[in-house]
Each structure stands twice: as structure tokens, then as C-alpha cells.
């Protein structure tokens, strides 16, 4: 029971996260850059990354222009839109309205040394997805349905960390950061066991909440062969979060359909879920094509296949003696197939200085959906591929304000024959689009 929820939650965020998500993004659950400036450029900021937020989230080798101290504070908001159709429900809409998360970073130069330090807190992926649709017949008997249900998945992946950027030569800088990852999940939906021998294909209602901590690191390099040309390269390590919490549910309809109506239907388990978030490599170039125009391009590789192959969930200390007798233990495990594919994300962006204090920005990103049709559900529909963005920046003395808007264009993905048990998602279709908003204010002192 618990395992499916965990699987769905991880798939959504895994993410968004991230619009989930990470991520309802061209990059799966990952956001398209940290900070409003990066968002407006379509995430193509790895070869520039000048502010503390950009150094914290996009390339730790940045901050090259920082001479004193800098503080940046802002936030990101998301409005997802979606439609789902299956054999039991012809037109269900995503009910989630608006979600928002803050982000903050501080950077400072160490005297006259070539080193800059920075600390920050920002969401890497975030999602609040709520559907309401009729549970299609399925389960161990092929006909079990829990009727009209709320199908909800919430995930937040927050990173807090510190790093250093060092100018090795006027042409080369290197940076690194270490971050603590906090992952919080909540899932509420019908669930079908996938691999547990005694419960395979059994359908139950499930309510799962877990949270936990992990670590990741990011390394960055900046090369400046000319004043008008910069290259950036970053590597983000794989992060593993041991997530623990509770799983509650009720399998009354399924038990009754199997002739086991006298068995106790409700249950509680201690849940243990290991969430893995993928390693990522990004490379890009930033070119000052004109005194008023800077262009950027970037390519990301995301190792989804090494993180979202399957989801291993452990349920312990079950309180239902009837279920414990059926399984033969008060503990059990389930493996839920994900089979996500590795992803290449292409990003391009441009910044035009309209005046000495006003900058106009635009960007675009594309990454093919990493979610295979066979394991797709509305709770794992991180399927956006094309995103367009725009924004503007204003500077006045020590102060700056940046704003951004991004639209992840609606994308539809269809399931013919599902790889998940019981076939309840056979012949289904999910359509998702996301609107992102970003605002960052900064001050240098």
C-alpha cells in the first residue's frame, strides 16, 4: 500500500517537483534554474551565474564580479493545469491551484582574496498535485473500484548548503558546494501492490506521509578565454534520502470482492522509503555578442535511469493481524517499476540591456519526457517538454529586482497497455501544463 504512494510521490517530484517538482519541468522534477534571472533565461545560466542564488543553485564557480557582500531574497510560484482520461472518467481536471516557495542566498568576498563564500536555501523540486477522478476497475479480481476518489501527491525537496568559489587565474574559476536535502512526501490515493508475493495486484486505499534527509554536492568550473566569452560546466551528485513515516489505509472493497469481507480492512504500517535523486551534468556558453546583448546556450544530461528504475518500499510493524497472517509477517516489501529514461535538456536564452538599469530577458528549453508510457499515471505525469520564458531586471545603485515568467507548454502522453499491475491505467491519457513565476530582490553592501 505504502509503496505505491511513495512511488507516485517520488515520480512527481521526484521532482516537481518539481511542477512536478522538480520538478513538471522540461528537466523532469528539477527546476529550470534557481533565481528569477535564470528562470527568465530558460535555465541557461551555468556559464554566467553571477549572484549568490545562481552560485548556490546553478554554478558554484560564479560570483566572479562580487567585491563585497550580496544578499538575495525571492520566491517561486507555480500554477499547474491538467486533464486526465481513463476508462472510468472521461474528463478529470487537476484541482491544484497555486503553490509557492521562498529562496534566499548570501555571498561574500574574503577580503582581497580570490575566494567568495556563499550560503543558501532554495527548493530543488516542489509539487502539490490533486486530482479527483473515478477509480477504474482493477485489483486482484479485475473489478475492484473505490469510486470517486481524491488522488493527491505532495512533495517538497529543499536544499540548504554552503559553498566556495575561487578564481584560480583571471581566466579560470572553480567552485564547490555541499547541501543538506530535506524531502517531505504526502500521498493519498488507491494503490495496487506490484511485486509483494501475497498481495500482488491487491488494491487498497492508502494515505502515506514520509520525510527524511540526505546530502548532495555540486562542482563547477568557469572558463573565460576572452572578455566577451565564458564557458561553464557543473556536476551535481546523486542524492539518496532515507524517508520514514506512516502508512494508513483500508482494503475493505477489495477484501469483500475476494470473499474475505470478514477480515479487518484497515491497517497501519511504519513506512520506510528510499528516494534517489539523479546525478546531473550541465555545460554551457555565454557570449557578449554586442555591448547590449548577451546570448547563452546550455545542455543538461540527467541520469534518471540510475535513480528512477524502481522504487523500493518497506512496511514494518503492521497492526492488522489478518493482513499479517496473509503475508506471513508484520513486515513486507514492494518494488514499484518506474523505468524512467535518461534525459538531455537543451536551453537557450538572451539578455538585452535596454538601458543602463533595465535588462530584458527571454529563454527556451526542451527535454523529452523521461516518463515511459508504461509506468505513467496522473501522479507521475512529469511530462512537459517545451518551455518558453521571459522576464526583466532593474538595477539602481546597490539594489536590484528581477522578475520572470515561464510557461511549460501543455503536453499529452497516452498509455496503451500499462506495465503496472491490474491494468487500471490502460487506454488512459494525461495532459499537463505549468505556469511558473519568479521574483528575486538583491542588495550589495
Specify the CATH number for the domain of residue 109: 2.40.160.60
What is the sign of the dihedral through the CA atoms of 210, 211, 213 and 217? positive
**What is residue 436's predicted lDDT score, i.e. its pLDDT?**
93
Q: How many CB atoms lie within 10 A of CB 33?
A: 31
Top-confidence residue, 94 or 236: 236
pLDDT in tens, 268-297: 999 988 888 899 999 999 999 999 999 999
**What is residue 143's predicted lDDT score, i.e. its pLDDT?**
92
**What is residue 25's predicted lDDT score, i.e. its pLDDT?**
46
- DSSP-based three-state secondary structure for 198: coil
Report pTM.
0.87
Phi, psi for residue 442 in degrees, rounded to 5: -140, 155
Residues 60 and 30: their CA atoms lie apart, in Å, by 17
Average pLDDT, the chain: 88
pLDDT band at 28 (very low <50, low <70, confident <90, very high): low
**What is residue 27's predicted lDDT score, i.e. its pLDDT?**
52
Asked if residue 368 has pLDDT above 70, the reply is yes
Integer CA distances (angstroms), 208 to 63, 85, 167, in order:
41, 25, 47
Q: How many CB atoms lie within 10 A of CB 259?
A: 9
Contact 81, 184 (CB under 8 A): no
Q: Per the structure, how many domains does the chain have?
A: 1
Residues 394 and 359: their CA atoms lie apart, in Å, by 7
Asked if residue 380 has pLDDT above 90, the reply is no
According to DSSP, the residues that pair with 122 across neighbouring strands are 159
**Segment (H or E) for 57:** helix 52-57
| C-alpha atoms less than 13 angstroms from C-alpha of 400 in its C-beta half-sphere | 26
Asked if residue 362 has pLDDT above 80, the reply is yes
Mean pLDDT of 372-376: 90
Mean pLDDT of 316-333: 93
pLDDT band at 15 (very low <50, low <70, confident <90, very high): very low
Grid coordinates representing 254? 477489495
**What is residue 10's predicted lDDT score, i.e. its pLDDT?**
34
Contact 7, 311 (CB under 8 A): yes
**What is residue 87's predicted lDDT score, i.e. its pLDDT?**
85
Q: How many residues does the chain have?
A: 445
pLDDT band at 338 (very low <50, low <70, confident <90, very high): confident
Mean pLDDT of 287-313: 92
Top-confidence residue, 381 or 328: 328
Domain extent at residue 184: 2-444
Asked if residue 377 has pLDDT above 90, the reply is no
**What is residue 154's predicted lDDT score, i.e. its pLDDT?**
78
Alpha helices in 272-426 (DSSP H): 321-327
Residues 41 and 348: their CA atoms lie apart, in Å, by 7
Residue 218, preceding bond cis, omega within 30 degrees?
no
Contact 50, 65 (CB under 8 A): yes
pLDDT in tens, 95-127: 876 778 899 999 999 888 999 999 999 988 766
Mean pLDDT of 225-232: 96
Q: Which residue has the cell 486533464?
A: 83
Mean pLDDT of 51-56: 94
**What is residue 97's predicted lDDT score, i.e. its pLDDT?**
66
Contact 269, 317 (CB under 8 A): yes
Euclidean distance between the first and final Cα of the chain, in Å?
53
**What is residue 127's predicted lDDT score, i.e. its pLDDT?**
65
pLDDT band at 174 (very low <50, low <70, confident <90, very high): very high
Asked if residue 12 has pLDDT above 80, the reply is no
**What is residue 444's predicted lDDT score, i.e. its pLDDT?**
94
Contact 266, 320 (CB under 8 A): yes
**What is residue 65's predicted lDDT score, i.e. its pLDDT?**
84
The DSSP line for 92-153 is EE-----EEEEEEEEEEE-TTSSEEEEEEEEEEEEEEEEEEEEPPSBSTTS-B---EEEEEE
Nearest to 8 by CA among 246, 207, 279: 207
Contact 23, 17 (CB under 8 A): yes
- DSSP-based three-state secondary structure for 194: coil
Residues 25 and 15: their CA atoms lie apart, in Å, by 9
Q: How many CB atoms lie within 10 A of CB 244?
A: 14
Amino acid at each position: 500500500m505504502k509503496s505505491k504512494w511513495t512511488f507516485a510521490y517520488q515520480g512527481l517530484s521526484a521532482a516537481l517537483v518539481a511542477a512536478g517538482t522538480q520538478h513538471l519541468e522540461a528537466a523532469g522534477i528539477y527546476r529550470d534554474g534557481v533565481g528569477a534571472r535564470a528562470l527568465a533565461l530558460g535555465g541557461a545560466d551555468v556559464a554566467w551565474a553571477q549572484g549568490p542564488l545562481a552560485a548556490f543553485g546553478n554554478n558554484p564557480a560564479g560570483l566572479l564580479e562580487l567585491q563585497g557582500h550580496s544578499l538575495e531574497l525571492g520566491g517561486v510560484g507555480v500554477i499547474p493545469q491538467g486533464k486526465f482520461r481513463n476508462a472510468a472518467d472521461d474528463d478529470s481536471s487537476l484541482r491544484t491551484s497555486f503553490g509557492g516557495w521562498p529562496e534566499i542566498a548570501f555571498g561574500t568576498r574574503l577580503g582581497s582574496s580570490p575566494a567568495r563564500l556563499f550560503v543558501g536555501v532554495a527548493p530543488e523540486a516542489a509539487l502539490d498535485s490533486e486530482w479527483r477522478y473515478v477509480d477504474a476497475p482493477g485489483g486482484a479480481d479485475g473489478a475492484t473500484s473505490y469510486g470517486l476518489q481524491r488522488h493527491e501527491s505532495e512533495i517538497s525537496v529543499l536544499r540548504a548548503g554552503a559553498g566556495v568559489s575561487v578564481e584560480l587565474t583571471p581566466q579560470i574559476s572553480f567552485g564547490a558546494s555541499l547541501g543538506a536535502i530535506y524531502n517531505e512526501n504526502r500521498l493519498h490515493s488507491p494503490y495496487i501492490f506490484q511485486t509483494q508475493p501475497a498481495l500482488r495486484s491487491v488494491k487498497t486505499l492508502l494515505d502515506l506521509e514520509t520525510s527524511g534527509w540526505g546530502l548532495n554536492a555540486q562542482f563547477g568550473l568557469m572558463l573565460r578565454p576572452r572578455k566577451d566569452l565564458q564557458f561553464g560546466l557543473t556536476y551535481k551528485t546523486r542524492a539518496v534520502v532515507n524517508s520514514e513515516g506512516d502508512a494508513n489505509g483500508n482494503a475493505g472493497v477489495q477484501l469483500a470482492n475476494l470473499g474475505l469481507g470478514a477480515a479487518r480492512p484497515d491497517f497501519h504500517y511504519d513506512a520506510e522509503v528510499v528516494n534517489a535523486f539523479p546525478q546531473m551534468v550541465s555545460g554551457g556558453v555565454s557570449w557578449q555578442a554586442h555591448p547590449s546583448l548577451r546570448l547563452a546556450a546550455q545542455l543538461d544530461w540527467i541520469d534518471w535511469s540510475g535513480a528512477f528504475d524502481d522504487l523500493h518500499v518497506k512496511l514494518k510493524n503492521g497492526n492488522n493481524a489478518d493482513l499479517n497472517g496473509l503475508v506471513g509477517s508484520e513486515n513486507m516489501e514492494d518494488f514499484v517499476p518506474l523505468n524512467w529514461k535518461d534525459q538531455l535538456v537543451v536551453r537557450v536564452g538572451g539578455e538585452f540591456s535596454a538601458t543602463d538599469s533595465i535588462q530584458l530577458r527571454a529563454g527556451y528549453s526542451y527535454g523529452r519526457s523521461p516518463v515511459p508510457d508504461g509506468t505513467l499515471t496522473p501522479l507521475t505525469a512529469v511530462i512537459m517538454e517545451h518551455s518558453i520564458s521571459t522576464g526583466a531586471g532593474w538595477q539602481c545603485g546597490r539594489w536590484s529586482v528581477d522578475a520572470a515568467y515561464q510557461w511549460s507548454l501543455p503536453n499529452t502522453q497516452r498509455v496503451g497497455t500499462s506495465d503496472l499491475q491490474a491494468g487500471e491505467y490502460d487506454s488512459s491519457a494525461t495532459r499537463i501544463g505549468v505556469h511558473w513565476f519568479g521574483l528575486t530582490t538583491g542588495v550589495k553592501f
